[in-house]
Amino acid sequence: MEQYAIKGGSPLVGEIEIGGAKNAALAILAAAIMTDETVTIENMPDVRDTNVLLRAIESVGAVVNRVDRHTVQINGSTINDVVIEDDYIKKIRASYYLLGALLGKYKKAQVVLPGGCNIGSRPIDLHIKGFKALGADVRIAHGLIVAEAERLVGNHIYLDMVSVGATINIIMAAVMAEGQTIIENAAKEPHVVDLANFLNSMGANIKGAGTDVIRIRGVSKLHKTEYSVIPDQIEAGTFMMAAAATKGDVTIKNVIPKHLESISAKLLEIGCEIEESDDAVRVVASKRLNHTHVKTLPYPGFPTDMQPQIAVTLALSEGTSIVTESIFENRFKYVDELTRMGASIKVEGNTAIIDGVPKYTGAHVSAPDLRAGAALVIAGLAADGFSVVDDIVYIERGYEDFDAKLRRLGADIEKVDGEKALQKFKLKVG
Ligand code: EPZ
């Protein structure tokens, strides 16, 4: 089992390039099968979740051609099956995007109930409500979600909660439905907008993505396109927090600064300097940072996917901070691990009360999920001495070359496999 070995205590300094957004890429890959022509997708992150989805796309008969590490061509004309049930696909949440894509194109789909990071109960009632509103019959049978329709007809759909996944799935199911679909209380996340832009470049007619009312006029078919995935807001935010927590100076390139506003605002508030240019953001932390309050909210609020990373930063800041998680109920599982590094955090319901400590001390910890795993790596980089982070398979779901990128910023971090390699790392970094 691979682990990250880290020797912490030095500031991260330098420049780093951000890759394509995992969560946009997952939606776009699924939507790419909705035409019979060849779609070219650039800036595709090479991470575990996108690779699993590509495998699922191949498993139903589509042709996947990896042009280079970050460019993939997909041709959905050879799809001969609408059933996705292999065990490996359960591992990713975004498997359910194939429901919307297959239902939208073939009017039928059967996809295994999704798994994904264990960050709380993750129902799919809103997705099902949306499909049903468009005329599909949806049921669960033998562990599969089965959706089928004679015809899909546009409808007015109000989402009771803001859901990224339901918004994306309903867009895909509606894009070739008859007439107009209106989604109200839609998610406004950058990856929803990216998916809509991608589908529009294939001939879809989607208006209002990025606002809470999305209007989709069904078209009869979609065509080929070439499209580049937006930069990853959360990867960028993670490096911003790594700069802050290690009191570093990092320029994060290939970003859309607008997508990072809620993160930049919090870092400014706690005492970082932030410099923005057209496609880069620099974070400088030259002194001990201050406390603040953070509440996770749908975009443009502070992202739940950045909650563990900012908590790790605040746990080193002066005074008492309060972090409230309002999207997923089980996203504080890293707190026990962080406590072993010296943090002082008390969780009450969906709130963490954080008393800042001046330093962490290195420890052996386990990544409980993707973002919490990245946060523990940040803690290890800020800590005095050695840390080991187990279960990095979670981190690899969403961060491409995480350790290599951190090394470029001067971090002492290496992927190791077992005690021998760990000892070798310790000897090397001293
Ligand atoms: C997406 O998950 C992301 N995943 C998550 O990223 C992210 O944390 C989340 O959006 C919130 O931004 C992908 O894009 C693949 P939701 P998703 O539907 O779509 C409730 C990461 O680390 N809800 O917006 O599953 C739900 O329980 C991951 O990259 C219902 O009640 O999230 C939650 O409280 C983890 N019924 C809230 O809505 C439903 O049918 C928001 O969830 C659907 C959701």
Mean pLDDT of the region 3-9: 97
Distance 120 CA to ligand 1 centre (A): 10
Helices of type H across 315-418 = 335-339, 370-382, 402-408
Distance 217 CA to ligand 1 centre (A): 25
Distance 226 CA to ligand 1 centre (A): 27
What pLDDT does residue 91 have? 75
CB-CB contact of 216 with 10 (8 Å)? no
Query: Which is nearest to 20 in space by CA: 230, 180, 178, 226?
Result: 230
Tell me which of 46 and 92 has the higher pLDDT.
46
Distance 98 CA to ligand 1 centre (A): 16
pLDDT over threshold 90, residue 122: no
Residue 335: phi, psi to the nearest 5? -65, -40
The 10s digit of each residue's pLDDT in 394-412 is 999 999 999 999 999 999 9
Beta bridge partners of 40: 73, 226
370 lines ligand 1 (CB under 6 A): yes
Classify each residue of 327-343 as buried b or exposed e, where b means 16 or more C-beta atoms within 10 Å of its C-beta: bbeebbbbbebbeebbb
Atom of ligand 1 nearest to the CA of 187: 24
The 10s digit of each residue's pLDDT in 198-211 is 999 999 999 999 99
53 lines ligand 1 (CB under 6 A): no
Distance 124 CA to ligand 1 centre (A): 9
41 lines ligand 1 (CB under 6 A): no
What pLDDT does residue 119 have? 56
Name the catalytic one among 24, 62, 94, 117.
Answer: 117
123 lines ligand 1 (CB under 6 A): yes
What pLDDT does residue 115 have? 65
pLDDT over threshold 60, residue 116: no
The 10s digit of each residue's pLDDT in 267-289 is 999 999 999 999 999 999 999 99
Beta bridge partners of 323: 294, 352
pLDDT over threshold 80, residue 86: no
- Cα angle value 183/227/225 (rounded, 5°): 85
What pLDDT does residue 118 have? 64
Give the residue whose CA is nearest to atom 22 of ligand 1. 305
What pLDDT does residue 368 have? 95
Mean pLDDT of the region 72-100: 88
What pLDDT does residue 89 have? 77
- Worst-scoring range by mean pLDDT, 16-20, 87-91, 202-206? 87-91
275 lines ligand 1 (CB under 6 A): no
What pLDDT does residue 329 have? 81
Give the residue whose CA is nearest to atom 9 of ligand 1. 164
Determine whether 117 is an active site residue: yes
Query: Which is nearest to 184 in space by CA: 162, 152, 206, 217?
Result: 162
Pocket test for ligand 1, best of 159, 325, 327, 369 (most atoms within 8 A of CB): 327
Mean pLDDT rounded to a whole number for the chain = 95
328 lines ligand 1 (CB under 6 A): yes
Residue with tokens 């997923």: 328
User: What pTM, to 2 d.p., does this model score?
Assistant: 0.97
How does residue 17 score in pLDDT terms, banded at 50, 70 and 90?
Answer: very high
188 lines ligand 1 (CB under 6 A): no
Give the residue whose CA is nearest to atom 39 of ligand 1. 124
What pLDDT does residue 146 have? 94
How does residue 169 score in pLDDT terms, banded at 50, 70 and 90?
Answer: very high
